[in-house]
Amino acid sequence: MEININNSNPILGICIPTYKRPNQLKLAVKSIIHAAKDHNISIILADDSTDDTNCEVITELMGDYKFIEWHRNGVNLGIDGNILNAVNLCKCKYAWLLGEDDRIIPGAISRMLKKISEASSPPAFICSNYSYVDEDFTMIIRESLLQIQSDCALEAEQFIQTEAWAIGFIGACVINKSVWETVDQTRYIGTYFAHVGTILESIKHHKVLLLSEPSVYNRVGGASVFTWSGDTYGVYKGWDSMMALLKNTYPDQICTAGAESFRTQTGYGTLRFLSARRADDIYNMKVFRKDVLVNSKLSTRYKMFALFIAILPQYVLQMARKNLNRQRKQRGRAIVDPGL
């Protein structure tokens, strides 16, 4: 089913690649409606369910807001394919990606339109800052992921080395469609970061506009939050694969720096990372033998701690996580879910 919308805003559309989380999708779309209703912003839903899971919720939302486009995929495109699909369905000059379980912060759409209209030339890509929130959207865990004090512009090569890790989160991505369409997007499918590869290849010889004020709440938590949790290690390795493909576009040292920046910022491979994955039963002895024990780059000391974590009972780390979350609640800033 496809709904064609007339008189919608031609500058900006918000694109949600959705699967089978209708309750989260409803709140995500409502957060957009609350922020977008004065601007006639199109909401493009790329539905990869291929069944009726989302039908009731989307039908209800379309009754509340007339600028919703619902596209049901005939076949399941997968994570990479449907993210690309969501952007390609957008007919606006800029396509803002959003996860189906994230929220637009009130006022963010007005600010984004203002930034685009005031730019001296159309930005080739806009990287929007975002906040980490808990699973229930009651508390901010981290106010800003990008540690910048004011809006700034970076050359593409500098952006790849220092800040590109942040756009693994799709809500940070406001895409210039005319620049995006210059790239063969399919070559990055299978990395889990096809949208990042497409963006980074497309912005060569351009500058990236980075916005300091967060525009999106990014929901984080245990494995149940993430649709890709069943292949967590494949996702993290996918970033390296995507960066390797970019070596056809950028010098090796820039792509290597981009891969290392991602590891540093996400904590991939650290003992804390292993502990969190063990709590979710994603890291275990099988993974230890496959990815840690045989890795000659890792020290004996690291391997000893990694082995200890692999055999540690899950409940110990789950209790530690609960304690950490209690501490975060004491320090964090309370919020109200903007989708309510």
Distance (Å, rounded) from C-alpha 154 to C-alpha 198? 18
Distance (Å, rounded) from C-alpha 184 to C-alpha 4? 26
Q: Which amino acid is at 253?
A: Q
Q: Does the structure show a pLDDT above 50 at 236?
A: yes
Q: What's the pLDDT at 231?
A: 75
Q: What's the pLDDT at 2?
A: 46
Report pLDDT digits (tens) over 146-195: 999 999 999 999 999 999 999 999 999 999 999 999 999 999 999 999 99
User: Please, what are the domains in the chain?
Assistant: 12-233 (3.90.550.10), 270-330 (no CATH)
Of 84, 68, 8, 71, whose CA–CA distance to 33 is shortest? Answer: 68
